[in-house]
Each structure stands twice: as structure tokens, then as C-alpha cells.
């Protein structure tokens, strides 16, 4: 059992490395062979996990008297994963992995041209495969639940969608009450070259605790984080000349994912006790560092000080943190999810989730996706994309088969606000720590409260364990109201 688990872990690391390399380095003509390589590695891991001899050995070990409590928890989850994986034929898993890799490559090529027609056929195939996956593994209620389970285990869309839509209705009047703002309502007033952005991003990520001896930062078309080994955490960002701090905030987000992975138990690497509990919890970590810490007033004060030290020659840095904080909290309905503020962000997620469910349940055809997208953006955010590159093609998720992923972003926002409430009670000086750039108390707290558990608890159980409260939107709405209140009164 130990040997097989080790081999599966090695194969998964290699698969991740191949995906990371595809998004960061791969030449255009390498995509075909890369898809085949990923498919092969995925099939090898699947074959080992679903080998009947392995499964029966795991069962035996689970019943063995000398297994520790920790081993039993771990093995029970291995068995759960293996039983689910065994419902999928290896040929299917391999074909799906190959199509997902090809889909990413097709998206990467189509996005700059805004050419949705070029990727529509592969998207239709990916959705058909996702539906087949659901048929294989089985589901109760919506077919979408089978897919959601891969990202937020045990969650049901019948429960999640009302949370997202209720949140959207609660946020809508708050957004409508805001003063109408132009894109330059709170301009930054300074520029950073791409080299300076790179230096700042690395420096700040290191400062919050990311270990660059066990990780690295590079560039890709869309920011992401990938685990390629127990001491090999890859982060990527995208640099944009037009916003000197955009890459830093993507970097904080991805570093939040990376810190979670670096905080997991390495003695259980790629095994349940050494993996994240869910994507929603993963997003709670990334959104925590990006938003709750990163868009706070004390963090902006720290950041300004950091930029003054790093770039004494840069003109236009503000005299105090106020303008920086206002700029990072400019709440305006927009088109691009990853550039959205903390409030309207959740509307982007509600829209995507509605669409995903319709695509999977078969009530929306891929050919009607752009018009549905435009209708929903008009209805929820009052904006219309000028092309597919800022519409249906802006995110890679669907085109690389991540279908069922989107709701986890808002779940992450809700978890992160609950964590923040609990942290403030346990560490009353946390805001002072942020301002002085001492992030270790926060990281240690997250390590103990979230990272150390791996997958020991189910997502909603971890909520209770880590925050002491039942999952709800209340903490997030209070957090938003406090921020809106400060934005309204502080100049
Ligand atoms: Zn993320």
C-alpha cells in the first residue's frame, strides 16, 4: 500500500509539472505531444489507485489492529477516492485528461483573437465528457453534483446555488447605493516597470511567508498555483503595464494557495492527510491574503513603506496609504473577474455558476453560451463585453475541463471572512502586525487552524472546527458593510 501510494504521488507530481510547463514554457507545436504525455501519466496513476489488489489491501490495513488512528483516517479517505475512481474506466480518464490539455492550448490561442468559434467544438466535447463522468460516478439531484464533488466534496448545488444567489441579491442594493465611479476614480498616480513589479511581487510574497527554497514564481497567460513536489510549489502571475499593482495582487492570491500547500503535512504528501480539504478552502486561503489582508488599510500602509524602500526613485508614490487603499478598493461593476473588487467579484461567480449548471444539465447549448453570458452580465453587473476575450474567453477553466470549480471562489470568500472574525478575537493586535509587516502570527494561525488538518474534516466540519461557527454569509456581509462604511467616511 505504501509503495503504491508513493507511486501515485510521484505520478501526480509529474502530471502537475507537465501542466505547469505547458502553461509557462511549452512551444506551440508541443501541445499535441504534451496532451498525450499528461494522458499517459494520468492513466498510470488511475490504474494504480483502482487496482483491485491495492483496494483490498487498503481495506485489510484499515481493519488491522496495529494501524494508528491517523493511518485509519488517511486510509479511509484513500478508499473513498479509490472507490469513486474505480467507477471511471481508465481509458475514459486518460481521454479526458488529453482533451483537457488540448482544450487549454486551444483556449490560449483563441483568447487573444476573441475567437470563441475556434474553441466551441472542444468545449462541447469537454462538457459531454463531464456529463459522462457524472453518469459513471453517479449523483443524486443535479448531475452537476457529481462534478462539484471533485472541487467541494459533499457539497450540493441545491444548497450552494441559493447561497450564491442570495448573496448576489444582498450585494446588489449595496452596489447600487455606491456613487457612480469612473475607472480612474482613485488613480494610483505612479508607474512601475515590469521588472519593478516582479521585484515587488517576489519581495512581498516572501514577506508573508512563502518559502522560495520550496517554491518559485514565473509568468503565464492566466495566474495559477501548482504543486509539483513536497518542496516544489509553483506560482505564476501575469504582468500588466497598465496597472502597476495587478501582478502583486494576483501574486498574493496565488501565494495564498502556495502557503496552504507549503503548510500541509509533507509526511502525507499527495495523501488525504497531506492535501487540502476542498477548493473552497483553498480559495479561502488565497482570497484571505489577496483581499482581507491585501486590501486592508494596514497592509496598504506596509506596502507603501515597502515601495518607498525598494523604489526611492519612483515618482508619484502617495504621501500616506489612503489613496492606495482607495485604489485597491475601487468598487465598480466590471467585466473581468480576476480584476474585480471584493464585492462585485461574487456576482461574476454567480453568473458562471448559473451557466455551468445549465451547460451540465443540458439546458444551455455551447452555441448559446455567449448570448447567455451577455444577458447575465447585463442583468447582474450592467456591463457588456466588447469581445469574447473579455467575455466567455476570459477564464481558462471551462476550456481545460475545470467544470464545477467556480462556486468555490465565493465559498472561499465566505470562509475567509469567518476566519478573519475568529483570528481577530484570538489575536487582537493583528492589524498592527500587518502594518509593521509581521505576517508570521497570521500564517501560524492559519497553519494550525486550517493547513494542519489536511482532509481530516469535511469542508463544513472544518468551518466549525476552525471558526467555531456554522457556515453562513453573515461574516462576509458584515465585513463588506464595514469596508463600505469606511470607504464612505474616510477620505
Ligand atoms: Zn485561486
pLDDT of residue 172: 92
Which residues are within 8 A (CB) of 47 and not within 5 positions of it... i.e. 6 or more apart?
90
The alpha carbon of 294 and the centre of ligand 1 are apart by a number of angstroms equal to 14
pLDDT of residue 352: 98
Q: What is the pTM of this model?
A: 0.95
10-28 core/surface letters (b: 16 or more CB in 10 A; e: else) = bbbbbbbbbbbbbbeebee
Known catalytic residues are 254
Residue 70 has pLDDT above 70, yes or no: yes
Burial class, 464, CB count within 10 angstroms (exposed 0-12 / middle 13-18 / buried 19+)? middle
Taking residues 408-423, report their average pLDDT. 98
Which residues are within 8 A (CB) of 132 and not within 5 positions of it... i.e. 6 or more apart?
92
The alpha carbon of 159 and the centre of ligand 1 are apart by a number of angstroms equal to 22
pLDDT of residue 282: 98
The alpha carbon of 411 and the centre of ligand 1 are apart by a number of angstroms equal to 12
pLDDT of residue 180: 66
pLDDT of residue 221: 83
In a 3-state reduction of DSSP, which class is residue 27?
Answer: coil
Residue 182 has pLDDT above 70, yes or no: no
DSSP conformation letters of 404-440: T-THHHHHHHHHHHHHHHHHHHH-TTHHHHHHTT--H
Report which of 328, 332, 376, 340 is spatially closest to residue 355, judged by C-alpha positions.
376
The alpha carbon of 408 and the centre of ligand 1 are apart by a number of angstroms equal to 9
Alpha helices in 114-189 (DSSP H): 116-137, 144-151, 157-176
Contact 116, 392 (CB under 8 A): yes
The alpha carbon of 254 and the centre of ligand 1 are apart by a number of angstroms equal to 6
Q: What percent of the chain has pLDDT over 90?
A: 93
Q: What is the pLDDT of residues 390-410, one digit of tens each?
A: 999 999 999 999 999 999 999
**What Å distances lie between residue 450 and 40, 73, 80, 264, 459, CA to CA?**
34, 17, 22, 9, 10
Residue 357 has pLDDT above 70, yes or no: yes
Question: All 3 cell numbers of residue 55?
Answer: 483496494
pLDDT of residue 179: 76
The alpha carbon of 15 and the centre of ligand 1 are apart by a number of angstroms equal to 19
Identify the weakest region by mean pLDDT among 59-73, 135-149, 224-238, 426-440. 59-73
Amino acid at each position: 500500500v505504501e509503495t503504491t501510494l508513493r507511486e501515485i504521488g510521484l505520478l501526480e507530481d509529474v502530471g502537475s509539472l507537465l501542466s505547469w510547463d505547458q502553461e509557462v514554457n511549452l512551444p506551440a507545436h508541443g501541445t499535441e505531444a504534451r496532451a498525450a504525455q499528461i494522458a499517459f501519466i494520468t492513466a498510470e496513476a488511475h490504474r494504480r489507485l483502482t487496482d483491485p489488489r491495492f483496494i483490498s489491501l487498503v481495506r485489510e490495513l484499515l481493519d488491522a489492529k496495529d494501524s494508528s488512528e491517523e493511518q485509519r483516517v488517511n486510509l479511509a479517505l484513500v478508499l473513498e477516492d479509490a472507490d469513486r475512481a474505480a467507477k471511471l474506466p481508465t481509458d475514459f480518464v486518460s481521454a479526458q485528461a488529453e482533451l483537457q490539455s488540448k482544450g487549454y492550448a486551444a483556449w490560449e490561442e483563441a483568447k487573444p483573437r476573441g475567437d470563441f468559434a475556434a474553441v466551441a467544438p472542444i468545449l462541447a466535447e469537454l462538457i459531454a465528457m463531464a456529463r459522462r463522468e457524472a453518469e459513471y460516478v453517479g449523483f443524486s439531484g443535479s448531475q452537476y453534483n457529481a462534478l462539484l464533488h471533485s472541487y467541494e466534496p459533499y457539497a450540493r448545488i441545491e444548497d450552494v446555488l441559493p447561497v450564491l444567489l442570495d448573496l448576489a441579491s444582498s450585494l446588489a442594493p449595496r452596489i447600487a447605493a455606491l456613487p457612480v465611479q469612473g475607472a480612474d476614480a482613485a488613480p494610483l498616480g505612479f508607474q512601475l516597470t515590469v521588472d519593478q513589479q516582479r521585484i515587488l511581487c517576489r519581495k512581498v510574497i516572501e514577506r508573508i511567508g512563502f518559502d522560495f527554497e520550496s517554491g518559485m514564481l514565473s509568468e503565464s497567460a492566466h495566474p495559477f498555483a501548482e504543486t509539483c513536489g513536497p518542496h516544489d510549489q509553483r506560482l505564476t502571475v501575469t504582468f500588466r503595464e497598465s496597472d502597476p499593482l495587478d501582478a502583486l495582487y494576483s501574486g498574493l492570491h496565488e501565494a495564498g494557495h502556495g502557503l496552504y500547500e507549503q503548510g500541509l503535512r509533507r509526511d502525507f504528501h499527495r495523501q488525504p492527510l497531506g492535501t487540502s480539504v476542498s477548493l473552497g478552502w483553498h480559495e479561502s486561503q488565497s482570497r484571505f491574503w489577496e483581499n482581507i489582508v491585501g486590501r486592508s488599510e494596514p497592509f496598504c500602509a506596509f506596502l507603501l513603506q515597502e515601495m518607498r524602500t525598494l523604489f526611492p526613485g519612483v515618482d508619484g508614490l502617495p504621501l500616506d496609504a489612503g489613496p492606495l487603499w482607495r485604489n485597491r478598493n475601487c468598487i465598480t461593476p466590471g467585466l473581468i473577474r480576476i480584476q474585480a473588487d471584493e464585492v462585485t467579484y461574487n456576482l461574476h461567480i454567480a453568473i458562471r455558476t448559473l451557466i455551468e449548471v445549465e451547460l451540465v444539465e443540458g439546458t444551455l447549448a455551447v452555441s448559446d453560451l455567449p448570448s447567455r453570458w451577455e444577458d447575465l452580465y447585463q442583468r447582474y453587473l450592467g456591463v457588456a463585453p466588447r469581445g469574447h476575450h473579455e467575455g466567455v474567453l476570459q477564464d481558462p477553466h471551462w476550456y481545460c475541463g475545470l467544470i464545477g470549480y467556480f462556486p468555490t471562489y465565493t465559498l472561499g470568500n465566505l470562509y475567509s471572512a469567518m476566519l478573519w472574525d475568529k483570528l481577530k478575537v484570538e489575536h487582537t493586535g493583528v492589524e498592527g502586525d500587518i502594518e509593521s509587516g509581521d505576517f508570521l502570527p497570521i500564517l501560524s494561525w492559519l497553519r494550525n487552524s486550517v493547513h494542519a488538518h489536511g482532509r481530516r474534516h469535511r469542508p463544513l466540519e472544518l468551518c466549525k472546527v476552525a471558526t467555531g461557527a456554522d457556515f453562513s454569509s453573515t461574516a462576509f456581509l458584515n465585513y463588506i458593510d464595514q469596508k463600505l462604511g469606511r470607504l464612505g467616511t474616510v477620505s
